[in-house]
Amino acid sequence: MEQFNKVIETLAQGNKPSSADGVTVYESSFEQKDGTNLVMVKSGTDKYLLAAGESDLFSELNGESVGTGKVCALSHENRLVLNKYFDYTVPQAFGTKIATMGLGDRLGVASPGHIETTRNRKVKPILAQQSIRELTLLNRTMTDILDAASFAVFQEGYKDGYGADADHIKLEKDIAYAIELGFSFLTLDCSEQIRNDIEGASSEDIQKEYAGLPVDRKEYFNSHYLNKTFDVQGLEIKFDEDSLVKNVLVYGEAIDFMEHVYNEHVAKADKAIDFEISIDETETVTAPEAHFFVAEELRRRGVTVQSLAPRFCGEFQKGIDYIGDLEQFEKELHEHAEIAKYFGYKLSIHSGSDKFSVFPIIGKYTEGLLHIKTAGTNWLEAVRVIAVENPDLYRRMHVYAEDHFEETLQYYHVTPDLDSVAPLDDTSDADLPKYMDHDAARQLFHVTYGILLTAKDDSGKDLFRTEFFETLLNNEDTYRNGLVKHIGRHLDLLGL
């Protein structure tokens, strides 16, 4: 730890240190609090908090004494100390009056680039965002992603607020735990309560099932919707008997679940929470009148949501542009946007990565007030850095991804034409980064992230993970600049 002596001496004198002698100093992190001076540094590929100057803050930080100061690991315990003394390192809710962007960080090292991309734009970053699926596939925890985001905010000296989204959460125990941990955003995934089977059922079976509902439940719905027309900013939403019965059966159980989670968890939380309803990851495309039905029921039941993610027409597959009829998409997106405005929440766009052809449409009709969710695209930008800086590692990962691709289809719906991917042996090192501009290669890597980052050899040694992070952390600025360019393109086209 002697390499930090000079930095600690500088801190002890109350001065801001600068990088030298192989120690990278993140000068934006420099803080002075209650007589203690702090800065984040990197030596090799390891990051630390350096502290000098006695105070309660200094005493509470856990670290190794060096000179008159301390060298502190970026541990969960030390993150909690930063949270206690620096409010800006704690995630917050933003409500419905400003655009937000989900920037899921599967690696725990993307947030500095995300912060640089968003800090001077009309959007707030939800830096900590991982679905239960991503956490499971990466063997990470909700605490891990909060730690990574908080330290990144401190490293960058970013004090304008960020969020933390417990994404695609389905179980009440996970909801309660996420709120307890301090998440500021909850994406309730109701896909398991949505009755996709109704879509294909016969009219006779549908009517029979509806007839079997309790009388008061049928009266509750019939009295408010049957043969009624609702005017949404000039858009007429009508419910005849067939459409009402279908929406009640498809979404009724899901709406009950939303109401229960809101009343038992969100409304009782001791801090503001951005509550999002996700009905996007279902086979059933959310027709505009279905969106209205769900939203009107939430309003009737006193459930306040800050955003809602419908399942749009066409396909929002991972890591590639929109697939579908742009005219139909524009028509329906306009209607969804008007419905969201009518009820006072933001439209949420899931799998928002790389949907460049529809961003202008989305930005136009949401008038720049939306939530857009991305995650895998920044993982692909990391893969691009590997392709540039460590071709041999990229080649080994590419082969492994091809060999294990089928395993990932249980988790993700992607339909890449893998035969269109240029043979690796025919591709020069210089051309490897071009794979990240090819749809099928992008999807190949997009969904195999978990398999690649947890793969081990027969002795239990990481096949790729250690070398992957070493390469990435030795090329931080390249990764940061790649994110600023790529995520920035998303925001430019959305008008944010």
What amino acid positions are annotated as catalytic residues?
167, 276
Per CB under 6 A, the list member of 52, 287, 375, 494 interacting with ligand L4NQUYV4 is 375
Instruction: Tell whether residue 114 is a contact of ligand L4NQUYV4 (CB under 6 A).
Output: no
Q: Give dist(CA 349, CA 311) in Å, integer.
A: 9
Give the x-and-dash track for 61-100 against ligand L4NQUYV4 (CB under 6 A). ----------------------------------------
Instruction: Tell whether residue 351 is a contact of ligand L4NQUYV4 (CB under 6 A).
Output: yes
| Most distant CA pair in the chain, distance | 81
Within 10 Å of residue 39's Cβ, how many Cβ atoms? Answer: 25
Instruction: Tell whether residue 310 is a contact of ligand L4NQUYV4 (CB under 6 A).
Output: no
Per CB under 6 A, the list member of 78, 89, 118, 131 interacting with ligand L4NQUYV4 is 131
Q: How far is the CB of 121 from ligand L4NQUYV4 (least distance, A)?
A: 19
Residue 263 has what DSSP assignment?
A: I
Contacts of 321 (CB under 8 A, 6+ apart): 354, 355, 356, 357, 358, 439
- Start-to-end C-alpha separation, the chain: 44
202 is written with which tokens?
Answer: 């016969």
Least Cα distance to 148 among 404, 484, 469, 367 occurs for: 469
Residue nearest to ligand L4NQUYV4 (CB): 375
51 is written with which tokens?
Answer: 């502290």
Distance of CA 263 to the CA centre of its chain: 24
> Applying CB under 6 A, which part among 3-11, 43-51, 126-134, 388-396 lies near ligand L4NQUYV4?
126-134
Instruction: Tell whether residue 31 is a contact of ligand L4NQUYV4 (CB under 6 A).
Output: no
Q: Give dist(CA 30, CA 229) in Å, integer.
A: 59
Least Cα distance to 70 among 55, 89, 86 occurs for: 55
Binding residues for a divalent metal cation: 168, 318, 350
Q: Give dist(CA 111, CA 375) in Å, integer.
A: 11
Looking at residue 235, its amino acid is L
Q: How far is the CB of 382 from ligand L4NQUYV4 (least distance, A)?
A: 14
Instruction: Tell whether residue 374 is a contact of ligand L4NQUYV4 (CB under 6 A).
Output: yes
Per CB under 6 A, the list member of 353, 366, 390, 475 interacting with ligand L4NQUYV4 is 353
Instruction: Tell whether residue 133 is a contact of ligand L4NQUYV4 (CB under 6 A).
Output: yes
Interface size with ligand L4NQUYV4, residues (CB under 6 A): 14
Cα atoms in the 13 Å half-sphere on the side-chain side of 321: 11
148 is written with which tokens?
Answer: 């990574």
> Applying CB under 6 A, which part among 171-179, 371-379, 416-424, 465-473 lies near ligand L4NQUYV4?
371-379
Alpha-carbon radius of gyration of the chain: 25
Q: What are phi and psi of 114, to 5 degrees?
A: -65, -40
What string of H, E and C letters represents the secondary structure of 295-307?
HHHHHHCCCCCCE
Give the x-and-dash track for 157-186 against ligand L4NQUYV4 (CB under 6 A). ----------xx------------------
Q: How far is the CB of 18 from ligand L4NQUYV4 (least distance, A)?
A: 37
Instruction: Tell whether residue 255 is a contact of ligand L4NQUYV4 (CB under 6 A).
Output: no
Nearer to ligand L4NQUYV4, 145 or 153 (CB): 145
Q: Give dist(CA 200, CA 203) in Å, integer.
A: 9
CB 95 within 8 A of CB 274: yes
Instruction: Tell whether residue 378 is a contact of ligand L4NQUYV4 (CB under 6 A).
Output: no
Nearer to ligand L4NQUYV4, 155 or 351 (CB): 351
211 is written with which tokens?
Answer: 């007839």
Q: How far is the CB of 8 from ligand L4NQUYV4 (least distance, A)?
A: 40
> Applying CB under 6 A, which part among 51-59, 207-215, 367-375, 432-440 lies near ligand L4NQUYV4?
367-375
Binding residues (CB under 6 A) for ligand L4NQUYV4: these are 104, 131, 133-134, 167-168, 350-353, 373-376
